[in-house]
Amino acid sequence: MADWKTLLDDGDFPAALAACLRQFEGRANTFAAAQALAEVEERWGDWLARSGLPGAAEHYSAAGKLLVSPNLLVNSVEESRLLVSIYSRVMGKLSAIDPFGRSRTRIGWQPHTAAGDRHSPPGPARMEELPCRQHAAVPSFDNERNAYARLFRDKDHWCHYDLGRKWRDAGMALAVACPEAACRAYSWSLYFFDLYRVTWDRAGAVARWDSDGEWEIAEVQNMAYSLAVNPSEARIPFWAEAFLTGDWQRAAAVLGAGPPAPEWSGLAALLAEAGQTAKERDSGM
């Protein structure tokens, strides 16, 4: 009977998965089992993505769940770091799956090393290196000149984390309709998650059980990397253009009370939050 690696190299993914499960029966919560099973799922997803077929997302998701299982036993810092490295790569591929279940082939897609991951994959791209940046003017985050950044600069680490999450969600809502706006929203998300890391560190022992922000930053970077390279035909509304540059007061004046299109609702909610925060500041609350 062929072993799972041979079956995997031959492209017989169902048989490879079955053989792998048999090999690690009774010790499925070990590091070796998680790494092997995740490799089968990831390479199965890779084959579907390369072939332009739907279904890769299910296998990438399965690989990710194996790598972060609460029952997984990890015996060293090196094993933990390797799992994080593999997980980051797999989640990057998962975030690149389009609404039709197929991989966006224009992204910087990293195949599995097929060599036990002895070589760590490169880390997430920096925002200035992302393909979408050539068509998206990302704002300056200077706290003294950017009114929106200045509004939240002295808040606590959980406020910064919450804003990072909300800007990430706003970018996700715009990813298909307007990649340029999504890229700029992701830039704001990275700004606040980075600010969260600073305030998290200042919080000391109180925040040690909270996330340090590294995973969240990698997730947003991968989402931004998966955006379309070419500009879309969708126009950014004037109020959103102003808000994305940090001029929230001008954006609020232009938007008025009219409801925005659904894909812009996340951005509008962030704008409303800015107005409420300014009112509380001015009233001394």
Cβ atoms < 10 Å from Cβ of 34: 25
pLDDT in tens, 108-151: 445 565 533 333 333 333 444 444 444 444 455 555 568 898 89
Q: Which of 115-124, 196-205, 257-266, 270-279 has the highest mean pLDDT?
A: 270-279
The model's confidence at residue 276, banded by pLDDT at 50, 70 and 90, is very high
CB 29 within 8 A of CB 72: yes
pLDDT in tens, 202-257: 665 445 567 777 778 878 877 887 776 555 567 889 999 999 988 999 999 988 76
> Residue 167: what pLDDT?
95
Q: Is 273's pLDDT higher than 90?
A: yes
| Choice among 12-26, 149-163, 203-217, 254-268 with the minimum mean pLDDT | 203-217
> Residue 92: what pLDDT?
76
> Residue 231: what pLDDT?
58
| Choice among 13-22, 126-135, 172-181, 220-229 with the minimum mean pLDDT | 126-135
CA 235-239-244 angle, 5° bins: 85
> Residue 229: what pLDDT?
56
CB 141 within 8 A of CB 191: yes
> Residue 115: what pLDDT?
36
Residue 116: closest CA among 34, 7, 190, 203: 34
pLDDT in tens, 63-99: 988 888 888 888 888 888 888 888 888 887 877 775 5
| Choice among 28-37, 181-190, 227-236 with the minimum mean pLDDT | 227-236
